[in-house]
């Protein structure tokens, strides 16, 4: 007499088929980042057959769907893109500091996706930008007093009797906005910007008058009389560098020996020593420039929170699938397989056991999950190890070592003239 088993049979309603379908891929992806790329669609479909064969679908049912495989393939592409972009960030972050960032959507893609691939900065990856280096150098040269394109302004003020301190920031700001002749040269250039005082004097430090004597105007620039009327130097016998040092010394003498005034500047507040008595001089002069920082904003460059200042702001979208070579695609297949294996393990762990006549079968869910986690970790470490050897610094070291090895070999080879 036949026995009626309860349940009559235990069969999952979802079984992975041996092949996928191109028409269903785009609608089943979680993110859909690559759903318009035909080569990705084909890769995802092929992954179904690859998974079916690798996990033994022709022998045992695989309780997963094609949706699981397609999404595992998409996640593997995103993980590969993450590792590649992280590697490239190590290479170029210092070169991209200060550049404008990209505009990304919630999927990590550029908003301007209608532009050609050549327009996307993720494909440019500059190793060095001379323009940015020059911009930083210009800001540094200003502070070092080595010259720059920044203009130095001159302003004057009349000292008040028995007044020792003067707020130069306030005086210069007032002159720049009140339309006075004294502020005509820098009207509109100061505003709320902090000024940097470069020099304070009340007597023009014209070294040429001391150096060339009273005939300076007739002597300087006049080749016919050059060297004739100089009362302090004989140009034919004294080298030009000595003349330069003398001129610098004369200017310093005017400030230290000839002047009976000294000063201190603290927070752009000038303090004169001794306190002016109202007799002389009539004016004090200051040279200044407005603050120029290497990270000030310009029309074509953003800084601070709006520009590239860390890895998070780099203009790197997801790597285009069409630009992934065979090495990357094989890594993606293997990683997607491990993700699918993890999903299968989670499904089988929920079922646990399957009853059979007179006994039950324990499914291998936990072991599948453990294997999948190990494989994913090993695959990530494998790719990271390769990428770490390909950073620009390591490549440069390898090139240098190769050159050294070549020189060592060549040094032991005799010249042809001695052979035989």
CB-side exposure of 284: number of CA atoms within 13 Å? Answer: 26
Residue 100 CA to residue 314 CA, distance in Å, equals 9
pLDDT in tens, 280-309: 778 888 888 876 554 455 544 444 445 676
Residue 234 CA to residue 218 CA, distance in Å, equals 16
Q: What's the confidence (pLDDT) of residue 223?
A: 46
Helices and strands (DSSP H and E) totals, the chain: 11, 8
| Residue 61 in this model has a pLDDT that exceeds 60 | yes
pTM, two decimals, is 0.54
Contact at 8 Å (CB) between 258 and 201? no
Please report which confidence band the pLDDT of residue 196 belongs to, taking 50, 70 and 90 as the band edges: confident
Contact at 8 Å (CB) between 263 and 157? no
Residue 49 CA to residue 301 CA, distance in Å, equals 49
Q: What's the confidence (pLDDT) of residue 231?
A: 46
Which two three-digit tokens encode residue 40? Answer: 């990705």
DSSP H or E run through 360: strand 359-362
- Peptide bond just before 7 cis, omega within 30 deg: yes
Which of 223-227, 308-312, 371-375: highest mean pLDDT?
A: 371-375
The residue count for the chain: 420
pLDDT in tens, 98-107: 666 666 666 6
Which two three-digit tokens encode residue 246? Answer: 């003398």
| Residue 5 in this model has a pLDDT that exceeds 50 | no
Please report which confidence band the pLDDT of residue 183 belongs to, taking 50, 70 and 90 as the band edges: low
Residue 252 CA to residue 205 CA, distance in Å, equals 8
Residue with tokens 């495989």: 69
Q: What's the confidence (pLDDT) of residue 252?
A: 73
Which two three-digit tokens encode residue 38? Answer: 């035909």
DSSP H or E run through 320: none
Residue with tokens 């420039």: 289
Please report which confidence band the pLDDT of residue 113 belongs to, taking 50, 70 and 90 as the band edges: very low
pLDDT in tens, 366-396: 999 999 999 999 999 999 999 999 888 888 8
- Peptide bond just before 104 cis, omega within 30 deg: no
| Residue 96 in this model has a pLDDT that exceeds 60 | yes
310 contact partners, CB below 8 Å, separation of at least 6: 93
Q: What's the confidence (pLDDT) of residue 242?
A: 78
Calculate what percentage of the chain has a pLDDT beyond 70: 67
Span 138-167, average pLDDT: 78
DSSP assignment string, 123-171: GT--S--HHHHHHHHHHHHHHHTS--SSPPEEEEEPPPTT--EEEHHHH
pLDDT in tens, 18-57: 999 999 999 999 999 999 999 999 999 999 999 999 999 9
Which two three-digit tokens encode residue 362? Answer: 């324990």
Cα–Cα distances (Å) from 287 to 68, 150, 186, 193, 275, in that order, read 72, 13, 12, 15, 21
Residue 35 CA to residue 43 CA, distance in Å, equals 11
DSSP H or E run through 55: none
User: Taking every pair of C-alpha atoms in the chain, what is the biggest distance, in angstroms?
Assistant: 139
CA-based end-to-end distance of the chain: 103
Lowest-confidence segment of 70-84, 165-179, 265-279, 300-314 by average pLDDT: 300-314
Q: What's the confidence (pLDDT) of residue 151?
A: 77
Contact at 8 Å (CB) between 328 and 110? no
Whole-angstrom Cα Rg for the chain? 39
More confident position, 352 or 57: 57
Residue 94 CA to residue 128 CA, distance in Å, equals 9
Q: Which of 293, 291, 296 is nearest to 197 (CA)?
A: 291
More confident position, 97 or 267: 267
Q: What's the confidence (pLDDT) of residue 124?
A: 37
More confident position, 170 or 248: 170
* Neighbour tally for 215: CB within 10 Å: 14
Span 333-342, average pLDDT: 97
């Amino acid at each position: 007499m036949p026995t009626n088993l309860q349940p009559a049979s235990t069969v999952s309603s979802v079984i992975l088929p041996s092949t996928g379908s191109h028409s269903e891929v785009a609608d089943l992806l979680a993110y859909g980042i690559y759903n318009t790329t035909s080569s990705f669609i084909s890769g995802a479909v092929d992954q179904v057959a690859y998974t079916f064969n690798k996990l033994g679908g022709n022998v045992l049912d695989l309780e997963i769907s094609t949706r699981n495989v397609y999404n595992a393939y998409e996640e593997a592409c995103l993980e590969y893109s993450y590792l590649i972009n992280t590697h490239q960030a190590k290479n170029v972050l210092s070169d991209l500091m200060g550049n404008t960032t990209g505009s990304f959507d919630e999927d990590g893609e550029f908003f301007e996706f209608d532009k050609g691939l050549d327009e996307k900065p993720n494909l440019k990856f500059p190793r060095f930008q001379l323009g940015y280096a020059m911009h930083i150098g210009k800001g540094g040269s200003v502070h070092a007093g080595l010259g720059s394109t920044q203009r130095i302004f001159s302003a004057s003020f009349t000292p008040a009797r028995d007044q020792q301190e003067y707020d130069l920031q306030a005086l210069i700001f007032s002159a720049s906005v009140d339309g006075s002749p004294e502020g005509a040269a820098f009207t509109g250039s100061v505003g709320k910007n902090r000024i940097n005082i470069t020099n304070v004097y009340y007597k023009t430090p014209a070294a040429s008058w001391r150096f060339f004597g009273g005939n300076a105007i007739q002597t300087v620039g006049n080749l016919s009389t050059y060297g004739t009327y100089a009362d302090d130097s004989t140009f034919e016998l004294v080298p030009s560098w000595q003349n330069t040092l003398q001129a610098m010394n004369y200017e310093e003498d005017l400030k230290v020996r000839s002047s009976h005034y000294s000063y201190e500047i603290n927070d752009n507040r000038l303090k004169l020593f001794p306190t002016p008595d109202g007799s002389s001089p009539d004016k004090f002069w200051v040279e200044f420039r407005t603050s120029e920082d290497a990270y000030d904003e310009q029309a074509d460059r953003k800084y601070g929170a709006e520009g590239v200042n860390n890895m998070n702001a780099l203009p790197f979208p997801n790597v285009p699938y069409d630009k992934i070579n065979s090495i990357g695609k094989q890594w993606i297949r293997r990683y997607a397989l491990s993700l699918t294996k993890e999903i299968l393990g989670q499904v089988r762990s929920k079922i646990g056991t399957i009853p059979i006549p007179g006994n039950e079968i324990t499914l291998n869910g936990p072991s599948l999950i453990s294997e999948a986690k190990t494989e994913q970790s090993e695959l990530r470490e494998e790719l990271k190890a390769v990428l770490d050897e390909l950073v620009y610094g390591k490549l440069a070291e390898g090139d240098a070592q190769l050159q050294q090895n070549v020189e060592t070999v060549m040094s032991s080879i005799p010249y042809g003239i001695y052979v035989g």
